[in-house]
Amino acid sequence: MRESLAAITEELRRLKLAGVTTVPVADETLARLRRVVGRRPAVAASRRAANAPAEAPVPPAVANPPPAPVWPREAVRPAAVPEPLRTPPEVRLPSGTKAERWAALKALVAGDENGRAHLRPGKRVVLGVGSLDAALMFVGEAPGAEEEIQGEPFVGPAGQLLTRMIIAMGVARKDVYIGNIMNWRPGLPTAEGEEQVGNRPPTAGEMAYCLPYLRAQVEVVAPRFLVALGATAAQGLLGVGAFKTLGEVRGRWHDFAGIPLMVTYHPSYILREPTPRRKRLIWEDLLKVMERAGLPVSDRQRGYFLER
């Protein structure tokens, strides 16, 4: 249940950044949430005991809450609790071909003790993927469940949608480069032996730690254009605190390391609510990228997702 609450909190934070101010909640759902939140003091106490990050203030319990479950301390996997990260790595790549420099970076990231300390057994650190000669580089948030298994960004449901978006632009996935702000899946406390349920956005510290790896990928690939997918990617590239809501920066050109950067929504914005309006919003941002990149735009493409 804690994971579900963390996932709900993460989703609400994401929606807030995307400019959403109200969320309809059915009375029954609200009552169930109140029952669960009313039990939280015992959980919060055991989390603090396990040296977990501080919880948000606990709302008052509802009348006659069910008995609070005791979360045994040893059942919380310490590796899943974000540990303080050291100073961001200094990345110095050898001279050589793009492929040689990228391979050196890959080895550096794979061997990063800090990243490995945050991995669960059998899971992988994830570096970007794609053409080292790409004109377009997409930047997402962080690996999720599928990505940490396969060791490749954007291979889960959001990734499949991103691939379709790229194809709609008239480009093949293999011809672009796709990276993330963070190189491992941000952890959530999980009962021993169980898989992590849900995701959380990276903390500012985690983003700052991984940024040199993203910069190095930008340096090696040297794309002509960058596309930030969602609020976390935009924060990572423009700076945490550079904007309050994604609406302030999306659909406009910015700059990262001298490269034009377009900010748009994360594909999960569509997965959550696949309406023509949402698809069109992202598509309009991608049309701007196509136009600036000199990609052909047909009348049919120009009209995608316009409601009739």
Residue nearest ligand URA by beta-carbon distance: 140
214 sits near ligand URA (criterion: CB under 6 A): no
CB of 139 to ligand URA, least distance (A): 8
Q: Is residue 140 part of the contact set for ligand URA (CB under 6 A)?
A: yes
Does residue 206 belong to the site contacting ligand URA (CB under 6 A)?
Answer: no
Minimum CB separation of residue 181 from ligand URA in Å reads 8
Closer Cβ to ligand URA, 76 or 270, answer by number: 270
Find the shortest distance in angstroms from Cβ 84 to ligand URA: 23
CB 43 → ligand URA: shortest distance, Å?
28
Does the footprint of ligand URA cover residue 225 (CB under 6 A)? no
Q: What is the DSSP string of the chain?
A: -HHHHHHHHHHHHHHHHTT-------HHHHHHHHHHHTTHHHHHHHHHHTTPPPPPPPPPPPSSPPPPPP--GGGB-GGGSPPPP-SPPP--PPSS-HHHHHHHHHHHHHT-HHHHHTPPTT------EE-TT-SEEEEES---HHHHHHTSSS-SHHHHHHHHHHHHTT--GGGSEEEES-SSPPP---BTTPPP-S--PPPHHHHHHHHHHHHHHHHHH--SEEEEEHHHHHHHHH-TTS-SSGGGTTTSEEEETTEEEEEE--HHHHHHS--HHHHHHHHHHHHHHHHHHT----HHHHTTT---
> Is the CB of 144 or the CB of 223 nearer to ligand URA?
144
- Closer Cβ to ligand URA, 10 or 55, answer by number: 10
163 to 202, contacts with ligand URA by CB under 6 A? Answer: 180
Site string for ligand URA, 147-166 (x = CB under 6 A): x-----xx-x-xx-------
Q: Residue numbers of the site for ligand URA (CB under 6 A)?
A: 140-144, 147, 153-154, 156, 158-159, 180
